[in-house]
Structure 1
Amino acid sequence: MVGEMKLMIEEEQKFQGKALSLSHTKTAITTIKEKFTEQQLQMFEQSCFGHLLGIEDLKWTSPIVHGLLLRKADPKTVSQLNGIKFIVGKKVIQFTAQQFCIVTGLRFGNLPFIPIPTNENCSLKRKYFANDKTVNLLELEKAFLECDDVDDVFKLGFLYFAVFVLLGSEKHVHIDMRYLKLAEDLEDFGKYPWGAVCYAKTNASLLRALCADYQRVKVPTKTAKTKNLERNQQQRQPVDQESTTSKVFPMHFR
């Protein structure tokens, strides 16, 4: 019943904010189209990611996303098992894996085992990241742009698209090194359940998005032990009046 559910943040406690997409969609797709040969681009268009090449002009509607996040149902009052639930008007809507699969057209399924790449078992690791235990998005982008090996640039391009578009993160964040090993075999790469991975990351980011704000808006601040601390707290601007920023991973509407 809707009446039994409660908003995570009550109507009178809502605040201004901005939800950010961390997917580098337009930049990544433009880069791939410039880097790939015509033949490679045609092959990419026929791959598991090919249908996503047309989303480079997709607009990110931050106010709508933030407004929806403010309608998030309190997880203490409703199960989140089948996706995050939102209370909009008098209806309950939810963000499910099935809906995500339909919208994105990405594969779902169980995650297969992928060995950790080493210089001995992974040529991409040995050639481009031999001395690196970790690789961030900027380093992957640099390797892709500077690569002049026809086969390797195609493999790195698939990994570049997956990390920059589907699993969007800030560019200093480290990638999952196992994806280097996966990219060595593009047939296996195409069969990988990217939809399941992308949905899980999007779902987790939505759950986290307003967590800090929820704590400061709804959880009372502990009583100060001294009058000086109380006076300092009273002089501060109330945090629920500030504009806040939430980071949301995309593809995701990502």
Structure 2
Amino acid sequence: MFEFAMITGLNITGDEATGDGTQRRNMLHDAYFEGQGTVLLTQPFDAIRRCDQMLDRLKLGLVYILESMVRCHHKKTTTDLFHLEIVDDIDRFNDYPWGWRCFEDTVYVFIRSHSKLKGAIRKYDTYGLPLTVQIWAYETVHLMGARFARRGETRCPRMHHWRASRSEGCST
């Protein structure tokens, strides 16, 4: 967990409660998704284009970045409605321990993938491999880092000093 937090720079401490059980009015959900039961990952991006309120665009953008880049969900995955609720209070959103949540997502992906047998060989499904794990691999498996990325100056969070190698056709 400590290495994960150092690599990402994401907060791992703070208010972890996802709510106190009371139903709150979710203004973004009501305004841009008409209270739909589920919101696909592509829908916040579409809502940004339709939105003329700059603050709502910011909030929808934060949810889209969180779901698609930080949590690395597939485009057919539903957006966690809690994210649409918490982003309504920017300070609460910024103080939330996203590092802890992303760490749990990463562990879940590897446990789920490892438990699936394909023939006699265990394989990992790394679709949507969180950027944190990619950077961690660069730092710990030096051959991988040398082949797929360039290391820049050392600074914290550590993910800031890695750049994709253009010659290998990779992008980060």
Does the TM-score normalized on the shorter chain lie above 0.5?
Answer: yes
In 2, distance between residues paired with 1:197 and 1:189?
13
Say whether residues 1:216 and 2:95 are aligned partners. no
1:246 is aligned with what amino acid?
D
* 8 Å Cα contact 2:68/2:74 also seen in 1: no
Say whether residues 1:253 and 2:133 are aligned partners. yes
Say whether residues 1:154 and 2:58 are aligned partners. yes
Aligned counterpart for 1:199 among listed residues 87, 103, 125: 103
User: How far does residue 208 in structure 1 lie from its aligned partner after superposition?
Assistant: 2.2
User: How far does residue 115 in structure 1 lie from its aligned partner after superposition?
Assistant: 6.1
* 8 Å Cα contact 1:117/1:125 also seen in 2: no
Look up the SS of the partner of 1:108 in the other structure: coil
TM-score using structure 1 length? 0.47
Aligned counterpart for 1:114 among listed residues 10, 19, 25: 19
Instruction: Find the counterpart in structure 2 of residue 101 from structure 1.
Output: 5
User: How far does residue 113 in structure 1 lie from its aligned partner after superposition?
Assistant: 3.1
Aligned counterpart for 1:137 among listed residues 18, 32, 41: 41
* 8 Å Cα contact 1:117/1:181 also seen in 2: no
Aligned residues between the structures: 132
* 8 Å Cα contact 1:159/1:180 also seen in 2: yes
Overall identity of the aligned pairs, in %: 23
Alignment gaps of 5+ in structure 2: 135-172
Change (3 A) 1:135 1:117: farther
User: How far does residue 125 in structure 1 lie from its aligned partner after superposition?
Assistant: 1.3
User: How far does residue 175 in structure 1 lie from its aligned partner after superposition?
Assistant: 1.3
Deviations 1:17-57 (A, max 9, x none): xxxxxxxxxxxxxxxxxxxxxxxxxxxxxxxxxxxxxxxxx
Look up the SS of the partner of 1:155 in the other structure: helix
1:101 is aligned with what amino acid?
A
